[in-house]
Amino acid sequence: MTAGGEAGPATVTVVIVNYRSGDHLRRCLRSLEGERLSLRVRVVDNGSRDGSLEGVEEGGPMAVEVIRNPENRGFAVAVNQALKSVDTPWVMLLNPDCEVIGDALGRLVAALETHLGAGMIGPRLENPDGSLQHACRRHLPDPVGVWRRLAGGVPLPDEPPGPWPVEAISGACMMIRRRALEEVGGLDESFFMHWEDLDWCKRFGDAGWRVLYLPAARVLHYKGVSSRSRPLRVLWYKHAGIFRFYRKHYGAPRYWLPAAPILLAVFGLFVTRAARLLVRRRNG
């Protein structure tokens, strides 16, 4: 029996990477229980010891496959573990601190079925107060584009009701066409966490697949639940990721001049934020 209420072949494989997400994982799974699509749910646990897996494998309305890693192997590695042997036409990445609202999954699949040139699509991610999380629809941070946007030249448009193309969506929730995934490949495991989703979006675009955003599909995202237990390490991954991203995609000499001040600013932000964290930790 697959999630979604009826026996038969699954339509969507839902991949959830768990790391110390507490009760949020169970709330995430409960939000999938009323889904009309037939789901196969795979939870990859990266060595959690907080009890977040309790009850997940004990039956209930959904069958959940749990893959246990003895230690935290990083988000990209865990996702790629779950992507092995996927045979459903659609794959969904979903963070454990997300809760699906209404028929969001069905809306995302329907949009991909209509737009055959799209390889992935993301929903509107909302904070608990209903406000928009802007990372769910964004530009890629190419060095020239960053300066153009700082000058006010490339604003994001207001949200239309239907799906529309964007450069990147958030890895907190993305629906992916399996055929496109087979062409592009899995996440780049050199990114331990953060920036692997932007890298994926760029690779999909470079391969000719469009990236779409659908504001009519809504997902609640509590944001950063798994990161709270190790803020300094997560801060490092966030800032180090842009250096890796730039080296991989914008390493050509023509990007050096516009990229240099951006990377210097990123390094300065890391030093400042890390110092604040250390001071707060020392002061208790």
Q: Is the separation of the CB atoms in 127 and 115 below 8 Å?
A: no
Handedness of CA 234, 195, 80, 171 (dihedral sign): positive
Closest Cα to residue 246, out of 233, 230, 265, 229? 265
Buried b (16+ CB within 10 A) or exposed e, 257-279: ebbeebbeebeeebeebeeeeee
**pLDDT string in tens for the chain (284-residue length):** 355 544 557 899 999 999 988 899 999 999 999 888 999 999 999 999 888 888 787 655 678 999 999 999 999 999 999 999 899 999 999 999 999 999 999 999 999 999 999 999 999 999 999 999 989 999 998 887 777 666 665 566 667 778 999 999 999 999 999 999 999 999 999 998 888 999 999 999 999 999 999 999 999 999 766 656 667 777 887 888 888 999 999 988 888 788 888 888 888 877 888 888 788 877 76
**Residue 211 corresponds to which tokens in the numbers above?**
């990236």
Burial (Cβ within 10 Å: 0-12, 13-18, ≥19) of residue 23: middle
Which spans in 33-142 are helix H?
75-83, 104-114
Residue carrying structure tokens 């768990």: 18
